[in-house]
């Protein structure tokens, strides 16, 4: 089968996510913390013949319009909220829901966000350095690259970008070029820090890791995952499931740690090791490449 690079989001590890989230249930109430384009939500609704009720959250208002279209056939079985999953309790309270059968988190960026113009997520477009998923956040990518200390930038690129060899050079290059205004400025700063022979040795574009690192910092992604995962077990019915799909070893590490901390008291871990997508899926969907899925059950 040939690769497809269509601009629509392809949901990642759908089969595995449903297997663990539903655990054989044919109905139930679920929270999709990262509704995105509604792909996983639609799959849950299809698998349960519309009998599931789903609360979908997403910080990105634009992406929710697309979800609304994709879920047209299931009106009445779901509700979408333009809110961070960090605030999931607010929505449950408003909806009068005490406990649910499952939480799904598919963290990271949707293809829609990566490709959509004006958001500054991609080094392929020349745009202002924004990178906020939630436009009410205060700090933009421009503020991070222009305002943080060099050592702090180096740490972020090293840790969040997994950019082990060149993090300090990249930070120095960024600082020497200040102020940076656009994604192209950031792309060029990274380029100047990585020797030509190294740039094209990599599987991914040389700027990918730095862009990812700055995005994680702007959106406080790791803190959000940590604080949310810790609170979720309190809102799961006995036997209820939590499934997290992540795309970064630090995110997966957080899920692993929180599940461990809560095992024996609140959670039973269902995936000793994280599940990975099949080769077929990776072939079809590049975004799946680095996906890892972990699941746990409320005891
Ligand atoms: N599962 C979806 C795709 C999700 S992509 C599908 O199958 O269609 C990841 C989504 O998480 C993005 O739309 C992004 O806006 C959202 N997101 C990122 N951080 C978030 C947060 N803190 N709260 C809610 N949504 C968030």
Cα 233 from Cα 266, distance rounded (Å): 7
How many angstroms separate the Cα of 216 from the Cα of each of 82, 210, 213, 267, 285?
Answer: 20, 10, 5, 27, 22
What would the pLDDT profile of 252-274 be if each residue is shown by its tens digit?
999 999 999 999 899 999 999 99
- CA-nearest residue, atom 25 of ligand 1: 58
Query: What tokens does 170 get?
Result: 């990249």
- Displacement of CA 150 from its chain's centroid (Å): 27
Q: Ligand 1 centre from 210 Cα, in Å?
A: 20
pLDDT bracket for residue 7 (50, 70, 90): low
Closest atom of ligand 1 relative to the 224 alpha carbon: 22
What would the pLDDT profile of 210-241 be if each residue is shown by its tens digit?
999 999 999 999 999 999 999 999 999 999 99
pLDDT bracket for residue 115 (50, 70, 90): confident
Instruction: Report the pocket of ligand 1 as residue ranges, CB < 6 Å.
Output: 9, 11, 33-34, 36-40, 57-60, 63, 84-86, 106, 108, 110, 133, 224
Cβ–Cβ < 8 Å for 106, 245:
yes
Q: Ligand 1 centre from 234 Cα, in Å?
A: 22
Q: Ligand 1 centre from 193 Cα, in Å?
A: 32
Cα 148 from Cα 292, distance rounded (Å): 31
Closest atom of ligand 1 relative to the 219 alpha carbon: 19
Cα 252 from Cα 237, distance rounded (Å): 24
Domains and CATH numbers, the chain: 14-112+222-298 (3.40.50.150), 119-220 (1.10.150.170)
What would the pLDDT profile of 45-83 be if each residue is shown by its tens digit?
999 999 999 999 999 888 999 999 999 999 999 999 999
Quick one: pLDDT at residue 111? 77
Helix H or strand E segment including 215: helix 208-218
Strand 78-81 to strand 52-57: parallel, antiparallel, or no bridges (unpaired)?
parallel
Q: What is the pTM of this model?
A: 0.92
Of 88-92, 133-137, 157-161, the one with minimum mean pLDDT is 133-137
Q: Ligand 1 centre from 96 Cα, in Å?
A: 24
Q: Ligand 1 centre from 69 Cα, in Å?
A: 16
Query: How many C-beta atoms lie closer than 10 Å to residue 154's C-beta?
Result: 21
Question: Can you state the angle between helices 150-160 and 167-176, rounded to 10 degrees?
Answer: 140
């Amino acid at each position: 089968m040939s690769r497809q690079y269509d601009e629509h989001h392809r949901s990642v590890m759908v089969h595995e996510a449903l297997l663990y989230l539903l655990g054989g249930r044919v109905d139930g109430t679920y929270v999709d913390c990262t509704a995105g384009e509604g792909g996983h939500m639609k799959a849950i609704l299809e698998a349960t013949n519309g009998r599931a009720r789903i609360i979908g959250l997403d910080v990105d208002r634009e992406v929710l319009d697309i979800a609304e279209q994709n879920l047209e056939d299931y009106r009445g079985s779901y509700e979408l909220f333009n809110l961070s999953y960090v605030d999931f309790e607010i929505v449950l309270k408003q909806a009068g829901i005490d406990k649910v059968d499952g939480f799904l988190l598919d963290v990271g960026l949707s293809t829609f966000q990566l490709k959509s113009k004006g958001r500054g997520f991609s080094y392929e477009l020349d745009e202002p350095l924004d990178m906020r998923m939630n436009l009410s956040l205060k700090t933009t990518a421009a503020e991070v690259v222009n305002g943080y200390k060099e050592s702090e930038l180096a740490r972020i690129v090293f840790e969040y970008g997994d950019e082990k060899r060149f993090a300090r050079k990249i930070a120095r290059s960024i600082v020497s070029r200040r102020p940076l205004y656009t994604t192209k400025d950031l792309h060029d700063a990274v380029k100047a820090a990585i020797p030509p022979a190294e740039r094209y040795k990599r599987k991914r574009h040389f700027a990918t890791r730095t862009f990812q690192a700055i995005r994680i910092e702007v959106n406080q992604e790791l803190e959000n995952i940590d604080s949310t995962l810790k609170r979720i077990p309190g809102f799961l019915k006995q036997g209820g499931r939590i499934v997290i799909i992540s795309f970064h070893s630090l995110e997966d590490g957080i899920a692993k740690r929180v599940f461990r901390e809560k095992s024996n008291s609140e959670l039973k871990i269902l995936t000793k090791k994280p599940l990975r997508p099949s080769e077929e899926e990776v072939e079809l969907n590049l975004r799946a490449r680095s996906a890892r899925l972990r699941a746990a059950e409320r005891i």
